[in-house]
Amino acid sequence: MRHTRKEVIARTRREFADLDRAVRRLRPADWKLLVPRPPSRDPWTVKDALCHIVYWKEHTTRVFRGEPRPPDLRGLDIKRLNRVIYERWRGRRPSEVVAWHRRVHADVVKMLAKTSDEWFARRDHSKEWPLDFDGHSAAHRLKDIEAAISAAAATPRAGGARKRRVTRGTSHQR
């Protein structure tokens, strides 16, 4: 399947909006919620899942530009690379992760806008290409972040079920 710059940018922006909307709704305690993962994998939190999404968007942006991985990440398989990202970001504050998420998105859109239409049309790709800008993000948003929030909301606590607060802005993430 051939893709167009316009279509890739639209899908990228649409998924960013959905992910950013989920991020803006997170309360401080939500960042520490565990996401559903097999016991054989690192115990990711909502914050770790967002870091994973953002790293792979950043990585794919480098690939589009023809840039190599940073030297300390070269030669690592995907499992080890995911582990390094987990270790690197798990101690960071949510506000740092949110800033990275938004900075990487701005860089992705800027890079896509500068990439020629011819580059997009030069060969066939899968329907989901480029996966990391929308499909991969959506999968982790739904199966990790939103699933953890839903599970926590459904878990009875003393005084009843947890209530979700609707917030605007990002001050609650610091």
**Domain total of the chain:** 1
**Domain contains 82:** yes
pLDDT in tens, 26-44: 999 999 999 999 888 889 9
pLDDT of residue 121: 85
Q: Does 92 have pLDDT greater than 70?
A: yes
- Token pair of 95 as six digits: 């506000």
Predicted TM-score (pTM) of this structure: 0.87
Average pLDDT rounded to a whole number, residues 132-158: 90
**Domain contains 173:** no
Q: What is the CA angle 90-93-97, rounded to 5? A: 80
What mean pLDDT, rounded, does the chain reach?
Answer: 89
* Polymer length of the chain: 174
Q: What is the CATH number of the domain that holds 54?
A: 1.20.120.450
Residue 77's SS3 state is: coil
**Domain contains 162:** no
- Token pair of 44 as six digits: 């990711």
Please report, rounded to a whole number, the percentage of residues in the chain having pLDDT higher than 70: 90
**Domain contains 60:** yes
Which residue bears the tokens 């589009």? 64
Q: Please give the Cα distance from 109 to 106 (Å, whole number).
A: 5
**Domain contains 141:** yes
Residue 9: which domain range? 5-156
Residue 83 burial (CB < 10 Å; 0-12/13-18/19+)?
Answer: middle
Q: Does 168 have pLDDT greater than 60?
A: no
**Domain contains 167:** no
pLDDT band at 157 (very low <50, low <70, confident <90, very high): low
Q: Where would I find the H helices in the chain?
A: 5-24, 46-65, 78-89, 94-114, 117-121, 135-140, 147-154
**Domain contains 110:** yes
Average pLDDT rounded to a whole number, residues 161-173: 40
Q: Does 47 have pLDDT greater than 90?
A: yes
Which residue bears the tokens 């080890």? 80
**Domain contains 164:** no
